[in-house]
Amino acid sequence: MFSKEESRLLKQDFWTSFGKSFPRKWILYNTKIKGLSLKFHFDTKTALVALDIEDDLEDRINHWGKILALKSILKDDFLPEAIFEEEYFLENGKEISRVYVLLDAPVSIHNKKSWRITMEFFNETMSKLEAFFVEYQDIIKT
């Protein structure tokens, strides 16, 4: 069991190591679409890459419809393992819409032995998600 401070330092060490191993500028929150972001998530049980829609309900429905219209392209050409959840609940109870890819391996941010596989998954998967986003952002934005 790790203290809060030990856990915080491990998380900080992971993200620093990831940035040094794969030095590039990710789009993440800089999508230029209100409420839409690309995210990395890594905790003690899972690692995933996601496209989150967190806007007000009307805009969320609008953006989600466009993402669904592009679903076959995303799955066929970029990320066949993508999971689409119109109603996804974050740990804090907030409801969002999310398209995500889970790392199918036992990983934990507290286990440094699982860091390399997670970093490689993040780099490969986010690169594909960003490529999809860049190609279709004009459709999603309108």
Domain residue ranges in the chain = 4-21+31-141
In our burial notation (b when 16+ CB lie closer than 10 A, e otherwise), range 31-68 reads beeeebbbbbbbeeebbbbbbbbbbeeeebeebbeebe
- Band (142; pLDDT cuts 50, 70, 90): confident
Place of tokens 């974050």: 90
Phi then psi for residue 108, to 5 deg, are -150, 135
Question: What is the pLDDT, as a whole number, of residue 129?
Answer: 98
Provide the token pair at 12.
């900080």
Would residue 53 be called left, alpha or beta, if left means φ above 0 and alpha means ψ between -120 and 50 degrees?
Answer: beta
Distance CA 88, CA 102 (A): 14
Averaged confidence pLDDT in the chain: 95
Place of tokens 């209100």: 34
- Band (73; pLDDT cuts 50, 70, 90): very high
Whether CATH 2.40.420 fits 4-21+31-141: no
